[in-house]
Structure 1
Amino acid sequence: MRIAMVSVVANPLTEGTGQEAHVRELSAALCGLGHEVTVYTRRAATRSADRFRTDEKYEVVQVPVGPAKPISDDELVAHLGEFAKFLAEEWRLSSPDVAHSHHWESGLAALVSAHRVQVPVVHSHHGLGPSDNEERADAERLLARRASWTVATSMQEVTQLMQLGVHRTQTTVVPPGVNLELFEPEGPVAARGSLRRVVSVGRLEPGSGLATAVAALSVVDGIELVIAGEKTQANPVAQQLRRLARQLGVLDRIVFAGAVPHAKMPALLRSADVVVCTPRSDPFGLAALEAMGCGVPVIAAAVGALADVITHNVSGLHIPTNDARALARSLRSLLTNDTKRQELGVAAHDRVSARYSRDRLAKEALAVYQRVEPEHGSE
């Protein structure tokens, strides 16, 4: 099957634990199953090839629309027409069997392009926008009506989509998958000092929940917090976290690791006693899944995909959102109980192996593509 992945903003060639990683792992696994995958994303850097074949055999096409630099969503909307035109011209020459679009900007571009060449569109919303963003809300309602099928990443998202008007019978849950050959308990371990180590991985942005982890650190002695996932230079959230840590007297126990390469992330995760994921929302849960693949227990807010990924007190611990006291209590309970921590780590690895391997989830996505493919073939 020939599959077009449309991910306008999130480029799978970049590091990240969100949509970039989801598209990357899904595309790689589909190629591993013998299918042909091309990812279409917007070129956001001057020194990048327009077309790139990855080691895992999927092709990335970096569409040259708009300035070759990161831009805001408002700026991006003005270039979606150009992006859709590029896709339509590309697909007229060689039509995919199905297009899978990720997030609302990609969905709009894919719908316009696919209509011109009669390609079915499977869409993943990856979370719905705030009600006061009328442009995005209109786009999401359109996608709910017009996409051939909707793929959600969690049951919480299914509920949100039903409220939007997406029929449950037209929705399939396909959570993100993990490369279990990379994220496994055995392997290199990053160097660490004498303190117990807590790791948090994710974007440094409002809603990351990292202030909760910093506040918890101030009432739990003998631990360090390693924050990884994004460059900290000139990042306003990183600056806020440093100010908070300085006020609480824990700046000397925080390590800003920056953007850790994907290949080195398992070693960092294996060095952790506990991994903490406390965002306000998380449609993917990939940071938790990768830690669980490494056999490391996770404490997470019960939001988005994290509510599905972790079974409380079996494969990890759930805490309320933005509750530093609850996080501190959970940290103490695990860091003072080696047996409990090891039990959770083993159960976490078993859960990821049984449900979240990228190969299994690629097969589930493929079943969705095959469901809508007859629409294409009958035209």
Structure 2
Amino acid sequence: MFKFKIITTHFQAEEKYGPIVEVNNVAKWLSELCPDDLQIAFAPYKGQTSWHRDSQIRIIRRDDPGWWNHYHNNYDNAYQKEKGRKWSLGPIVDTGKPLTKQVPIIAISEFHKQITMEDMGYNEELISLIPTIVDTHLFSPGQKNKEITVGWIGYDNGFDKAREKKGVEVIPFLAKKFPHIQFEMVHALKPAFTHEWLKEDLPNLKIITGIAHDKMPEIIRRWHVMVCGSKWETGATSVVEAMSCGVPIIAANMQVLPEIASSQILLDVTYSHPPETEYPFDWTKESLQKFADALEHMLSDPIRYQTYVSDAIKASQRQSPENVAKKWFEFIYKCRDYYNKK
């Protein structure tokens, strides 16, 4: 029996950032689908429990002996003290932090893998590519709004104030351009910088915040299109969740997005610096117009639109719990065999 422990920080936090969603889904599905010859446990900060309270998730102490130690991230003191042989890492890794040695590691996309290899000088043979889990049992197609509705998911504050990363400027531009279309922006945290990116009252724009992750499908499946304004995505779980709900995607043709949404509309767009744009790293005016042209193109032909819907659902299945959990178990066996060879 190989005992594999995932040491993490938070299962619960005010924000609903991708890493919080990812570790909760991993805990739920690795626990439920675990093979008979493995034991899997999770060791978060004291007092932290998964969202999925009805699952068979084993929570243990961070220093509980006898387990292979997998560090979900390399941010905290538990990781910094690691001196043993039985450990692995990822996928939430700060590539700026030096490693004491190279061990089995997880990347969530080919793009993420290349960053890991380049920034950390990592041995490719030690990197396993495991995408984020999309709970396709939860995120599924449903009844769309009677009025055409376009959605967006992100935040304008947090780690890096994030306006420049998530492209919040796209939606006000589109809402002004298409006053007959309803727009909804779902923020992981209450927006703090609307005065910078929302310069006027737009009656067809609704801002939503404070939504529990298991309530997100009720919002997303009502949308006709999701516009991802992001300029940086390594996993883009929210994009695949929308695709799983049968919501077509318009996004930039960069980072992980060509890997997960190649069947959708991906735009060759650029961001700029003042004085060409009002704010550092905003999309250029030409790029914003490309988003507008793509939205009009997607909605103008019902047959073409349904093709995007079908392709989105099909592509999302690659990140179903069953498919991704299988890759995790292969990684766990790799760790077991890696240790036995030492």
Normalising by structure 1, report the TM-score.
Answer: 0.74
Query: Does 2:61 align with 1:110?
Result: no
Aligned to 1:101: 72
Aligned to 1:352: 316
Aligned to 2:29: 29
Aligned mate of 2:91, from 116, 124, 129: 124
- Distance in 2 of aligned mates of 1:292 and 1:286: 10
* Percent of aligned pairs sharing the same letter: 17
Q: Which amino acid aligns with 2:288?
A: A
Aligned to 1:39: 42
Unmatched segments (≥5 aa) in structure 2: 271-282
Partner of 1:109, secondary structure, is: helix
Query: 1:199 deviation in Å?
Result: 0.6
- Distance in 2 of aligned mates of 1:306 and 1:264: 24
- Distance in 1 of aligned mates of 2:195 and 2:325: 39
- Distance in 1 of aligned mates of 2:320 and 2:115: 25
Aligned to 1:46: none
Evaluate the alpha carbon distance shift between residue 361 and residue 377 of structure 1 in structure 2; reply closer, same or farther with a 3 A threshold. same
Aligned mate of 1:91, from 27, 42, 64: 64
**Contact 1:153–1:305 (Cα < 8 Å) also in 2:** no
**Contact 2:265–2:294 (Cα < 8 Å) also in 1:** no
- Distance in 2 of aligned mates of 1:19 and 1:50: 15
Q: Which amino acid aligns with 1:110?
A: Y
Q: Which amino acid aligns with 2:152?
A: S
**Contact 1:289–1:309 (Cα < 8 Å) also in 2:** yes
**Contact 1:197–1:226 (Cα < 8 Å) also in 2:** yes
Aligned mate of 1:236, from 186, 192, 198: 192
Normalising by structure 2, report the TM-score.
Answer: 0.82
Q: Structure 1, residues 123-178: CA drift from partner, whole Å, max 9, x if none?
A: 324574xxxxxxxx2x1x32xx6241121111112222222201222212111121
Aligned to 1:294: 245
Evaluate the alpha carbon distance shift between residue 28 and residue 36 of structure 1 in structure 2; reply closer, same or farther with a 3 A threshold. farther
Q: Which amino acid aligns with 2:307?
A: E
- Distance in 1 of aligned mates of 2:13 and 2:195: 27
Partner of 1:21, secondary structure, is: helix
Q: Structure 1, residues 161-208: CA drift from partner, whole Å, max 9, x if none?
A: 22220122221211112111111114xx47x563x2111112333222
Query: 1:19 deviation in Å?
Result: 0.7
Query: Does 2:335 align with 1:372?
Result: yes
Aligned to 1:78: none
**Contact 2:91–2:105 (Cα < 8 Å) also in 1:** yes
Equivalent residues, number: 315
Query: Does 2:54 align with 1:55?
Result: yes
Aligned to 2:213: 262
**Contact 2:7–2:69 (Cα < 8 Å) also in 1:** no
**Contact 2:243–2:249 (Cα < 8 Å) also in 1:** yes
Output aligned runs, 1:58-207, within 5 Å. 58-59=57-58, 87=62, 90-92=63-65, 95-102=66-73, 104-106=74-76, 109-110=78-79, 112-113=81-82, 115-116=83-84, 118-125=85-92, 128=95, 137=96, 139=97, 141-142=98-99, 146-164=101-119, 165-186=121-142, 189=143, 192=145, 194=147, 196-205=148-157, 206=162, 207=165
Aligned mate of 1:328, from 269, 292, 311: 292
**Contact 1:175–1:361 (Cα < 8 Å) also in 2:** yes
Evaluate the alpha carbon distance shift between residue 334 and residue 124 of structure 1 in structure 2; reply closer, same or farther with a 3 A threshold. same
Aligned to 2:277: none
Evaluate the alpha carbon distance shift between residue 30 and residue 149 of structure 1 in structure 2; reply closer, same or farther with a 3 A threshold. same
- Distance in 1 of aligned mates of 2:181 and 2:244: 23
Aligned to 1:2: 3
Q: Which amino acid aligns with 1:40?
A: A
Across the aligned residues of Structure 1 and Structure 2, the Cα RMSD in angstroms comes to: 2.7
**Contact 2:17–2:188 (Cα < 8 Å) also in 1:** no
**Contact 1:98–1:373 (Cα < 8 Å) also in 2:** no
Q: Which amino acid aligns with 1:330?
A: A
Aligned to 1:310: 261
Q: Which amino acid aligns with 2:78?
A: A
Evaluate the alpha carbon distance shift between residue 50 and residue 215 of structure 1 in structure 2; reply closer, same or farther with a 3 A threshold. closer
Evaluate the alpha carbon distance shift between residue 347 and residue 303 of structure 1 in structure 2; reply closer, same or farther with a 3 A threshold. same
- Distance in 2 of aligned mates of 1:98 and 1:109: 10
**Contact 2:102–2:123 (Cα < 8 Å) also in 1:** no
**Contact 1:126–1:283 (Cα < 8 Å) also in 2:** no
Query: Does 2:226 align with 1:275?
Result: yes
**Contact 1:16–1:202 (Cα < 8 Å) also in 2:** no
**Contact 1:149–1:171 (Cα < 8 Å) also in 2:** yes
Unmatched segments (≥5 aa) in structure 1: 44-48, 62-85, 129-136
**Contact 1:198–1:223 (Cα < 8 Å) also in 2:** yes
